[in-house]
Structure 1
Amino acid sequence: MTPAEFLPGTLMMVDIPGPTLDDDTADFLRRSGIRSVCLFGKNVQNAAQLRALCRDLRAVMGEAALIAIDHEGGAITRPDFWPFAPSAMALGAADEPALTEAVNAALARQLRSVGINWNFAPVLDINVNPANPVIGERAYGDDAARVIRHGRAALAGHAQEGVAACVKHFPGHGDTHLDSHLALPAVQKSRAELESGEFAPFRELLSLAPAVMTAHIVYPALDPQHPATLSRAALQGLLRAEWNYDGVIVTDSMGMQAIDANYGRGEAAVLALQAGADLVMALGRREVQEATLAAVGAALRGGALDPQATAQSVRRLEELARQAPAAADETVNPQADAPLLRGAWAQALSALGTPTPPPVGSRVLLVAHRTPVRENVSEAAADAETLARELGEIYDVTLIPFESPDELDWAALRAQDLPVLLATTARHRHPALRGVQPDLHLALYNPYTALDVDAPAVVTYGFRPEARAALLAWLRGEAPLSGRLPFTA
């Protein structure tokens, strides 16, 4: 088959509507030549269902099937029936690369048990901007050396278990104040600054990375016109020519507003492939998937896509699937990793200031968000009632729930003359929290909120049950705060 005869779907990744592969979607995948699918929460119910879905996808897409998911740990975990792994920043706080490798091997085993063969992790962004609205605890920390040593360990854990990893978000999403899901960010740094910062983890670890995901961010020092996803200077020039990378380059979702609001879907897909991407993530409604297919097909037929480059892309994708087959390993028991993951969360617990737990059995006021909501790629945090119920095992808790911190009357709370515990569970920092003075701050999600609240803090780097259990153990006096903040306080 010549490159011009490849079905356009070979160069596309799509999502599918639900937890089963319906006949219409199966027919669409088959006739379009699509061999790559990204799964989301809408596709996940339980392990048996997920295993059946992956089996059906592979039957339709063939042995070169790539079945992917965002399974980073922390808040970026779609299945809720496996033990939860810590976020990257939790592992950065524990700062034991061997632990990071073991946790990532556990993440890979979870996926392998159902037949998912591609994990969009680890994150190699260096989160140097505390106000970053989308990375935060998804990064290992705010310095290149820490990100490199833990990124290397994460890649080793995936390789050990035969699941393809994918480093992201090249060339780096750690110093943005805009979320590329919602807008088109730019990083205004010189090439020298990028070389010593953002670029360093990618450059150092590319030889270990089966795949790289691009960022929808403009880096004027590389290309003043195009975001990296659409930039030939970034993908073909830097990744391929300068750094000699021959793994798979996959775009981030082309449905994110950084792309969707500034380019046509079909036009953007062709630009990304021309820039050097091997696979375009064409997520969203069927009509946008069809528009992408049509544009890529026309580009293949009309010669707008280089035949040799197309053949190389197909080779890379097939090699990735060959190295990590999408076949379920039912001998794997993900529950067996529960003690490892619980211990990893516990090792991450960190202090800002000198937090002291109230005496066991005492009366306390708990101030917490009534109903946290899902934010972009992150799942929703624990709600106030759940936190109050769990803390009620230790204290006599009076819950003060809120929907927005602006509605809280801190003077009235302090007037009750009881210890005030503030639990923060939002991804984004909130101006209304700056300078408030509880007795103890439980930073259960965005660790940077600990910098805003004028109180000693316990930082968990996540809200999952294992993180909350580690916090409860500390409150009981049964566990130390052995982690260290992996960012400058």
Structure 2
Amino acid sequence: MAPVPGTSDDGPPDATRAGLRRLLASFPGTTVPPWVRQALLDGVGGVVLFAENTPDLITTRRLCDELHAIAPDVLIMVDEEGGDVSRLEAVTGSSIPGNAALGVLDDVATTGRVGRALGALLHAVGIDIDLAPCLDVASQPRNPVIGTRSFGADAQLVARHGDAFVRGMAEGGVAACAKHYPGHGATEVDSHAGLPVLDVGLAELEARDGLPFRTAVAAGLEAVMTAHVVVPELGPDPASLSAWSSQRLRTDGFDGLIITDALGMRAVGDDLGRAAVAAVAAGADLLCLDAPHERDAELAFRQALDALTAAFADGTLDLAATAEADRRVAVAAAAARRRRKQPRVDVDTALTALAEAGRDAARRALRTTGSPVLMPPVALVDLRGRQNLAAGRTTSAFQSALDDRLRRLGEPPARRLDPAADDLDRAGAVLVLTREPYPEAAEGRALAALLERCPSAVVVHTGLPAVAPHVPTRVDCHGVGRANAEAVAELLLPVPAEPSR
């Protein structure tokens, strides 16, 4: 086997191959760099694409076709949850409203339709496994990273919609990877920034957080992503680096892929090589490393591979024990090849179907207080302070949706104003965006001050219903995807019907 550039020469070739098979590579840009091409030829487990790889659907399809031409067995993955988290539509915002809106709507047929349409689009561009849906139960409203990525706060609701979404995606032609096992919804720390602790008894863990995953496994789930979350009753290390997570999944009858969350996140420290070895020892089949916009992708890959090669060579990791992981990856690759042989819908046709499904769901999921209508001119004030780090690149979906509606009405675009602007109370109709307006937090204080000046302002709440502000005129849209924003704009700025002739 030709050596991968930058890898260790200490161990035999088998040790390097064993390490390669456990890794998911990522890279910047829209062309395959030489080091990734070599890794593909040498048998790397898979590739994860990010927004910088997928600026548009045609480029994404070309890139996926190139990757599969180099290595037909390679598994191509992406974080395409819809709503707040989109990679394929990062430039414009997602065509679907996200899990929270689907949970509020609570129509499993609609959730299945959305999952099926998303699966068809991903299949059309060449994705094999979608790192979605989130099956976290949003039992902690102040969770900084899950929020509207969850179907809701009730385990039964999350389970039935997770089931519908997983089945729908499979019908569309793509495998699902449910996350973040054993559940990230009850934490108050974002694992991108620190180590969350899920301080809950095992009975509650099983009944609440475990139910959606068990239900998805019964629905034919092919992959699970483990979280960087500590459960004290099960040990001091996060689930992604602990054998108890894989043991519990296997005991529950899951024989699919166990994939770690990104090992470059701060929850697992700065030593990527150490984390990679610990994850494989814990029973992970495939390891996400880090996003290419977070660190040098080639350097991260080399660090992880060097550490795994050394661990397999010196016996820290058992080469023979990787046979089962290799089998599971091979089964997933064979399933992906079969799906790839199925006819692919035209990309534009798939996107149209996804947009139709998303538009219907987003409109029906809106919840209102008062009579929210805007009379132009319109001023937009965005009070949302904390970014969801999982979302990556964010869009101005609400500004774009408002401006599009205003153009149709022959009105000027919405003015973007600071909440402390001197002329705010003379700005016309004021629309305010909120996400976490807790009364004691900066966002909540800013909202209270703004409403004192502009009591008629319309508040559009993009976060969880449980933290929606108590204001006279409000729209809850449950997410920040393009579908959410367009549904809000249509509601607030109705275009008059043309008179009949």
Q: TM-score, normalised by structure 2?
A: 0.83
**Contact conserved, 1:250 with 1:277, CA < 8 A, in 2?**
yes
In 1, Cα distance between equivalents of 2:204 and 2:69? 47
**2:479 counterpart of 1:462:** yes
Residue number in structure 1 paired with 2:382: 369
In 1, Cα distance between equivalents of 2:140 and 2:467? 14
Residue number in structure 2 paired with 1:487: none
Q: Which structure 2 residues correspond to residues 285-434 of structure 1 after superposition, within 5 A?
A: 285=296, 286-325=298-337, 327=340, 329-332=343-346, 333-337=349-353, 338-351=355-368, 354-358=369-373, 362-363=375-376, 366-369=379-382, 375-378=388-391, 379-382=393-396, 386=400, 389-390=403-404, 392=406, 401-402=416-417, 407=420, 413=424, 416=426, 420-424=430-434, 430-433=443-446
Distance 1:282 1:343, change over 3 A: same
Name whichever of 193-202 and 96-105 sits farther off.
193-202
Percent identity, please: 32
Deviations 1:201-254 (A, max 9, x none): 11232232111000001110222x101101112222x222x3132111000000
Q: Which structure 2 residues correspond to residues 202-221 of structure 1 after superposition, within 5 A?
A: 202-207=213-218, 208-221=220-233
Report how many residues are paired: 463
Distance 1:417 1:226, change over 3 A: closer
Deviations 1:30-51 (A, max 9, x none): 34x3130000011012222211
Residue number in structure 1 paired with 2:456: 439
| Pairwise CA distance, 1:65 | 1.0
Deviating 4+ runs (over 6 angstroms): 370-374, 395-398, 425-429
**Contact conserved, 1:388 with 1:397, CA < 8 A, in 2?**
no
Distance 1:254 1:162, change over 3 A: same
Deviations 1:383-419 (A, max 9, x none): 775365246356978956346x5x467xx755x5965
Letter in 2 for 1:53: L
Indicate the RMSD between aligned Cα atoms, in angstroms. 3.2
Deviations 1:20-72 (A, max 9, x none): 113343124434x3130000011012222211211111122x23210000011
Letter in 2 for 1:85: I
Letter in 2 for 1:65: V
In 2, Cα distance between equivalents of 1:336 and 1:375? 28
**Structure 1 stretches lacking a partner, 5+ long:** 480-489
| Pairwise CA distance, 1:453 | 5.3
Letter in 2 for 1:50: T
Q: Which structure 2 residues correspond to residues 71-220 of structure 1 after superposition, within 5 A?
A: 71-80=80-89, 84-207=95-218, 208-220=220-232
Residue number in structure 1 paired with 2:255: 246
**2:237 counterpart of 1:226:** yes
Residue number in structure 2 paired with 1:483: none
| Pairwise CA distance, 1:108 | 0.8
**Contact conserved, 1:128 with 1:175, CA < 8 A, in 2?**
yes
Secondary structure of the corresponding residue to residue 181 of structure 1: coil
Distance 1:292 1:133, change over 3 A: same
Name whichever of 135-144 and 187-196 sits farther off.
187-196
In 1, Cα distance between equivalents of 2:97 and 2:385? 19
Deviations 1:331-357 (A, max 9, x none): 332133032221121111123xx3203
Residue number in structure 2 paired with 1:486: none
Residue number in structure 2 paired with 1:278: 285
**Contact conserved, 2:103 with 2:152, CA < 8 A, in 1?**
yes
In 2, Cα distance between equivalents of 1:317 and 1:427? 44
Residue number in structure 1 paired with 2:49: 39
Deviations 1:266-308 (A, max 9, x none): 1111111111111111234222211110111122222222344
**Contact conserved, 2:199 with 2:231, CA < 8 A, in 1?**
yes
Distance 1:24 1:232, change over 3 A: closer
**2:277 counterpart of 1:265:** no
Secondary structure of the corresponding residue to residue 166 of structure 1: strand
**Contact conserved, 1:3 with 1:310, CA < 8 A, in 2?**
no
Deviations 1:114-154 (A, max 9, x none): 11111001110011111111111100001101100100001
Secondary structure of the corresponding residue to residue 171 of structure 2: helix
In 2, Cα distance between equivalents of 1:469 and 1:106? 19
In 1, Cα distance between equivalents of 2:351 and 2:245? 41
In 2, Cα distance between equivalents of 1:157 and 1:388? 31
Secondary structure of the corresponding residue to residue 84 of structure 1: coil
Distance 1:303 1:431, change over 3 A: same
**Contact conserved, 2:383 with 2:434, CA < 8 A, in 1?**
no
In 2, Cα distance between equivalents of 1:439 and 1:91? 29
In 1, Cα distance between equivalents of 2:435 and 2:405? 15
**Structure 2 stretches lacking a partner, 5+ long:** 2-12, 497-501
